[in-house]
Homo-oligomer: A and B are copies of this chain.
Amino acid sequence: MPLLSHLSALPTLENDLALLETKLENSVVAKDPYLTEIAKHLITAGGKRVRPGFTIASSAIEQQDTIPVAVDVLMGGVAVELVHLGSLYHDDVMDEAEIRRNTPSVNAVWGNHTAILAGDFLLARASEIAASLGTEIAGLLARTIGELCEGQILELQSTFKPSRTEESYEQSIAGKTASLLSTACRIGGLTGGLERDTVDQLTDFGHSYGMAFQIVDDILDVVATEDQLGKPTGNDLIEGVYTLPVLLALESDLGSQLHDLLGKELDTKSRDRALGLIRSTDAVEKAFDRAQYWALKAKASLESLPPSPATNALFAATNHLLEQAHN
């Protein structure tokens, strides 16, 4: 996850996200207070609400004046965030993560069984909200959850494989990251009542932004400090997830040295050696070029949209992403 916040250029966003927060908490109330507590756990732990932010901004790209955000837009944002949270519940079980957002993870507190079921519960609530927004959004969100799973399974399939191709990497991040960001924007356009062409542009924007977002995230895993990341540098390497900078470094002069270190569990020393090798190639720069390619595509999608505070905020968020990877 990139380090800084995103859509701060949109002046109304903070207020809208405050409204969203209440709806988000209410959306997971269950008959059983015990389940409610578990389902609220990660919501209460906070989060930047990146995806609902994109939903809200996308809905507003034709607005020149400050008008209250529509309830359907907010509920669309809630559905998207619930999908994200539900998948985090399952991620943490799979990664045996103890901490998430500076709070003990759901699996750490209540065990794996409960965390799996509570993740299912959040996904179900997301689908229920999507259904209340019409069949198009219900179908779209379900398809997106499927794509998320596809992307993650594709990634799992290639863990610890230095032979992973860039194509397979891009296919995987398209599913696991770009898909939900793209849907966040599309749902914003749809619930905002925008024209079909505009909705499609927003969808493309979200996809390209999501691709850039994940590549930047993967660059940061290699170049940022543990302090900046909130987890060890090279965490993906340790988990056997070979991302774009790694794959590009494998193609460089130092590729065979790096290759010798990969394909197996890494101790801290080997991880540091691998990180050193990657950093001394041009792989990070080349990965950054790729992020820039997607960022340019994202901005191109915005170009035909009317200039407005929200459109400007989406532009600014895209630029901001690249600045993060450059610092």
Contacts and interface: CB of A to CB of B under 8 A. Distances in A.
Interface of A: 30-32, 34-35, 38, 87, 90, 93-94, 112-114, 116-121, 123-125, 127-128, 130-132, 134-135, 138-139, 141-143, 145-146, 148-150, 152-154, 156-157
Contact of A131 (B34, B90, B139): B139
A121 to B, nearest CB: 4
9 tightest A-B CB contacts, nearest first: A127-B142, A131-B138, A128-B142, A131-B139, A124-B145, A121-B149, A124-B146, A138-B138, A94-B113
B121 A146 contact: yes
Given A35-B150, A121-B149, A124-B142, A112 B135 contact: no
Contacts of A30: 146, 150
Contacts of A125: 142, 146
A128 B139 contact: yes
Contact of A149 (B90, B117, B132, B134): B117
A93 B107 CA distance: 14
A90 B120 CA distance: 9
B114 A153 contact: yes
Given A117-B152, A131-B135, 17 more contacts: A30-B146, A31-B150, A34-B153, A35-B150, A87-B120, A90-B117, A117-B149, A117-B156, A118-B149, A120-B120, A120-B123, A123-B124, A125-B142, A127-B142, A128-B139, A128-B143, A135-B135
Contacts of A130: 131, 138, 142
A127 B156 contact: no
A38 to B, nearest CB: 7
Contact of A134 (B35, B112, B118, B135): B135
A116 B119 CA distance: 10
14 contacts: A87-B120, A93-B112, A93-B116, A116-B116, A117-B156, A118-B149, A118-B153, A120-B149, A123-B124, A124-B149, A127-B141, A128-B146, A130-B131, A130-B142
A237 to B, nearest CB: 18
Nearest to A116: B90
Contacts of A31: 150
B149 A32 contact: no
Interface centre among A119, A139, A142, A156 (most CB of B within 10 A): A142
Nearest to A112: B94
Interface centre among A117, A141, A148, A157 (most CB of B within 10 A): A117
Contacts of A132: 135, 139
